[in-house]
A and B are shown apart, each in its own frame.
Chain A
C-alpha cells in the first residue's frame, strides 16, 4: 500500500472507520511506509492527512504569522503518530479522530473537513479544554493540540522569524523587558 492510498484512508475521501479493522501491525506498517516515503519531503509539501491538517490549521491558523500547515506541522504529527507513539496510543488517537468524524456527521451530515467554518468551530468548542477518556474526541483533540503547538514552535521558521529566539544569547538578563526581544 502506498502513501496515496494511506492518505485516502486517513483523509476525508472515505470515512475514518474504514481502517478501524486494521491490525496495529498493519497500521504500523502503513505508517513506516508513509514515513519512509515522506521523510524526504519538505515540511510544506504533501498533506499527509486532511483531517489532521485541517485541525492543526484551525488550532494555529495563518494570520500575521504563519499557520500550522505552512511550517510543516502535519508532517511532524504524522511522524509522531507513525514512529513515536505506541500501538495502543495510536489506536486511541485514531479512535478519537473517528469520534470527531462521527460527531461531524451527526452535526452537519458530512466529514469534518467539509463542514462549514461555524460548524467546525462549534464542534471544537465542545472538545477544547475538556478531558475525555483515551479514544474520545476530546482526548485526541488535546493530543493533537499539544503536538501541533510543539511542532509549530520547534519549526525553523517560527523559532527564527517569529519567536526570534537566539541560539547563542551571549549573556543572561534576569529582568529583561517582555517585548524587547
Chain B
C-alpha cells in the first residue's frame, strides 16, 4: 500500500490498548525506546484543569457531596457501591447501563470500572507493596495454580525503575516478605497509630511490623510534580500531580517523545490475526462517538485494558484457528480470576491523647506486613494477609445525643475519642473454576459481547478473613484499646478492585497464556501486562507489580524487535 493512504495513517510500530496504570507505562516505555505508538482508550478525554475537582468545597456541589442519588442508582447502581464513586468522582466510573455484565446466580461479582483517558489510575488507592519470593514461589510450594515463571530477582530492578519515576513514600523496614523500595520520606503516623505501633512491636517484636503506608504519593517535589498538600480526596483527581496517575506522569512522558498518538473514544472490539504469519496484525475498533468501524495496524500489541477487558478481547477474537479465543490454546484465558478478600477487621478506642488531633487530611494510613505463613505454617489456611488502617477522631459527624446551643458548641469544639481501625487484605487462591466467558446474549452499548462472570471465594479466603478479625482485635487489645469490635462485611469478589489472573503467566503453554516476558506463548508479538497476567494474587496491592512487569515487558519487546526476533 502506498504511503499516505488511509491504511498508512493507521499503521504503527506498537498498539497499546488502554491508557490506565499499565497502558500509560507501555506508552511511555515503548515511545521512549523509539517506537511509534498508538494508544487506544475506550473512554473520553480528561482535562485535569477542568475535570479534577478535589478542591471544590461541598457547598458548591448540589448535594453537598451526598451525590445525585437517584441518578447514581439508575445509571451506576454497581459503581456507586464503591466508596470513591461519589458526587464528585462518579464521572470517573462507567455507566452500568452502557457497560453491562452478567453473573451466575448466588455468586455476585462487583466489577468497578473506569473508562476514560487515565483509566482507573485517576481513582486508584495508591498503595504500593513489593512482592517477594514468598509470593513468587507460593504456587510452586503449595500446589495451587501454576508456578510463576519469574522470581523476585527478575522484577526487582524494574520495581526500582518504576518506583523512581512514580515517587513512593514509605519507611524501610528490612522485611524479607515485604521488600523495601525506592522510598521518599514516609508520611507521619499520628499519635494513636504510634501508640499501636509501639505496642505491637513490644508484644510481637519483628514478627508483626506496623509501618507507614507505602503509597504512590510524593512527599517532596519529585519529577517536576509538587509534593502532596494533604487536601484529602485523591479520587477526585490531583491538579498538582502529587499522586501517580497516567495523566500526570506516563502519558505526558510518552507525548513528549512526539511518537505517541492517543485516540480516546476508541472501543477495541477484537484483535486482527494474520494466520499466514501467526501474528496479531492490528485491532478492530468501534468509534465510541459515531459507531464507525475502524482498523489499526501494529507490529506489536500490548493489552493493558484491565484483567477482565483484556480477557474479553481475546475471547471475542475467536476464529476458526482460535476457536476458544485468541492465544487460548491452553483454555486458561478468562480463568483463574482472583480478587483480594477484604472488608474484615477490627476497630477499637485508643484511650488518652485527648488534647491532640490530626491536622491535614493524609491520603494514606498504616500497614502491617504479612505475618502468617512466613516462618511457620498456619493450621487453618495457606498464604496470608496484610493490614491497612488508620486512627483518627471524629468531629461533628459523630453521633452525640442532644440538641441546642451547648450541644452545638460541643460538636464544634470537641472531638470523639481516638478510634483505630485495622482491615485485612487477604490473598485469593488461583482457581480454574473462577472465570469469565462471553455472555451468549448480552452486549454492551457498542454491540460488543459482554462478560459473564462466575467467581466466589473459597474456604481458604474465608479462613483468612476469620483470622484477620482475631489478630486485628488482639493487636488493638495489646495497645490498650477499649470497645474493640470485629467485623466482616462479607464483600463479594471484585469489590477490592484488584481483579487479576485471567491470562496468567507460566512456564508451560499447556497451562498458561503468557511466558516470563508477558508475551503470549502462542503469539509472539502479543503482550499482556495488566492484571490478567498474574499467576497468583499475593496479598499486596498489585498495581506496582503490574507497572514493573509492564516496563520489563516493553524493554524485552523492543530488544527483540531490534534483534529482528519480533
Which residues of A are found within 8 Å of B59, using beta-carbon distances? 154-156, 159
Interface string of A76-116 (1 = CB under 8 A from B): 10011001100000000000000000000000000000000
B360 touching A84, Cβ below 8 Å = no
Interface string of B67-83 (1 = CB under 8 A from A): 01110000000000000
B55 touching A172, Cβ below 8 Å = no
A151 touching B64, Cβ below 8 Å = yes
Q: Tell me the complex Cα distance, A170–B188, Å.
A: 14
A21 at the interface (CB under 8 A from B): no
B260 to chain A, nearest CB (A): 33
B408 touching A173, Cβ below 8 Å = no
A132 at the interface (CB under 8 A from B): no
B507 to chain A, nearest CB (A): 46
User: Which segment, of B150-158, B351-359, B369-377, B452-460, faces chain A?
Assistant: B351-359
Which residues of B are found within 8 Å of A163, using beta-carbon distances? 396, 412
Q: Tell me the complex Cα distance, A159–B356, Å.
A: 20
Query: Closest residue to B411 on the A side, CB-wise?
Result: A149
B510 to chain A, nearest CB (A): 52
A interface: dominant SS: mixed
A3 at the interface (CB under 8 A from B): no
Q: Tell me the complex Cα distance, A172–B191, Å.
A: 12
A23 to chain B, nearest CB (A): 18
Q: Tell me the complex Cα distance, A129–B400, Å.
A: 8
A79 touching B187, Cβ below 8 Å = no
Interface centre among B58, B396, B403, B415 (most CB of A within 10 A): B403
Interface string of B399-416 (1 = CB under 8 A from A): 001111100110111010
B359 touching A169, Cβ below 8 Å = yes
Which residues of B are found within 8 Å of A80, using beta-carbon distances? 63, 66
Q: Tell me the complex Cα distance, A149–B401, Å.
A: 12
B497 at the interface (CB under 8 A from A): no
Which residues of B are found within 8 Å of A63, using beta-carbon distances? 405, 408-409
Which residues of B are found within 8 Å of A181, using beta-carbon distances? 357, 359
B362 at the interface (CB under 8 A from A): yes
A119 to chain B, nearest CB (A): 15
The 8 Å CB contact of B66, one of A84, A155, A167, A172, is A84
Q: Tell me the complex Cα distance, A170–B219, Å.
A: 11
Which residues of A are found within 8 Å of B215, using beta-carbon distances? none
B404 touching A169, Cβ below 8 Å = no
Q: Which residues of chain B from 435 to 469 have a CB within 8 Å of any chain A CB?
A: none
Which residues of B are found within 8 Å of A124, using beta-carbon distances? 403
Q: Tell me the complex Cα distance, A181–B191, Å.
A: 17
Which residues of A are found within 8 Å of B70, using beta-carbon distances? 83-84
B403 touching A128, Cβ below 8 Å = yes
Which residues of A are found within 8 Å of B322, using beta-carbon distances? none
Interface string of A113-157 (1 = CB under 8 A from B): 000000000001000110000000000000001000111011110
Q: Which residues of chain B from 215 to 234 have a CB within 8 Å of any chain A CB?
A: 229-231
Query: Closest residue to B59 on the A side, CB-wise?
Result: A156
The 8 Å CB contact of B189, one of A79, A151, A174, A178, is A174
Which residues of B are found within 8 Å of A2, using beta-carbon distances? none
Q: Which residues of chain B from 387 to 442 have a CB within 8 Å of any chain A CB?
A: 396-397, 401-405, 408-409, 411-413, 415
A176 touching B229, Cβ below 8 Å = no
Which residues of A are found within 8 Å of B413, using beta-carbon distances? 179
Which residues of B are found within 8 Å of A33, using beta-carbon distances? none
B191 touching A174, Cβ below 8 Å = yes
B174 at the interface (CB under 8 A from A): no
A175 at the interface (CB under 8 A from B): yes
Q: Tell me the complex Cα distance, A169–B358, Å.
A: 11
Q: Tell me the complex Cα distance, A70–B396, Å.
A: 18
Which residues of A are found within 8 Å of B191, using beta-carbon distances? 174-175
B399 to chain A, nearest CB (A): 9
Contacts A84-B66, A178-B357 known; A170 to B229 CB distance under 8 Å?
A: yes
Which residues of A are found within 8 Å of B411, using beta-carbon distances? 149, 153
Q: Tell me the complex Cα distance, A132–B189, Å.
A: 41
A169 touching B55, Cβ below 8 Å = no
A168 touching B402, Cβ below 8 Å = no
Query: Closest residue to B391 on the A side, CB-wise?
Result: A174
A9 at the interface (CB under 8 A from B): no
A6 to chain B, nearest CB (A): 20
B379 at the interface (CB under 8 A from A): no
A173 touching B69, Cβ below 8 Å = no
A172 touching B355, Cβ below 8 Å = no
Contacts A63-B409, A153-B397, A159-B58 known; A170 to B69 CB distance under 8 Å?
A: no
B41 at the interface (CB under 8 A from A): no
Which residues of B are found within 8 Å of A170, using beta-carbon distances? 229-230, 360
Q: Which residues of chain B from 37 to 86 have a CB within 8 Å of any chain A CB?
A: 55, 57-59, 62-66, 68-70
The 8 Å CB contact of A167, one of B55, B359, B401, B405, is B55
A67 to chain B, nearest CB (A): 9
Which residues of B are found within 8 Å of A60, using beta-carbon distances? 403, 408
A7 at the interface (CB under 8 A from B): no
Query: Closest residue to A124 on the B side, CB-wise?
Result: B403
B201 at the interface (CB under 8 A from A): no
The 8 Å CB contact of A168, one of B231, B396, B401, B404, is B231
B193 at the interface (CB under 8 A from A): yes
B486 at the interface (CB under 8 A from A): no
B307 to chain A, nearest CB (A): 34
Which residues of B are found within 8 Å of A156, using beta-carbon distances? 57, 59
B194 at the interface (CB under 8 A from A): yes
Interface string of B332-364 (1 = CB under 8 A from A): 000000000000000000000111111111100
Which residues of B are found within 8 Å of A76, using beta-carbon distances? 64
A28 to chain B, nearest CB (A): 10
B324 at the interface (CB under 8 A from A): no
Which residues of B are found within 8 Å of A128, using beta-carbon distances? 401-403
3 cross-chain pairs, A with B, having the tightest CB-CB distances, nearest first: A174-B190, A169-B360, A172-B360
Given A169-B231, A178-B356, 11 additional A-B pairs, CB 8 A: A61-B404, A63-B408, A65-B409, A150-B64, A155-B59, A171-B359, A172-B187, A172-B359, A173-B359, A178-B357, A181-B359
25 contacts between A and B (CB under 8 A): A59-B403, A61-B405, A63-B405, A63-B408, A76-B64, A79-B62, A80-B63, A128-B403, A145-B403, A149-B411, A163-B412, A167-B55, A167-B231, A168-B55, A170-B229, A172-B360, A173-B188, A173-B358, A173-B360, A175-B358, A176-B356, A176-B358, A176-B359, A177-B356, A181-B359
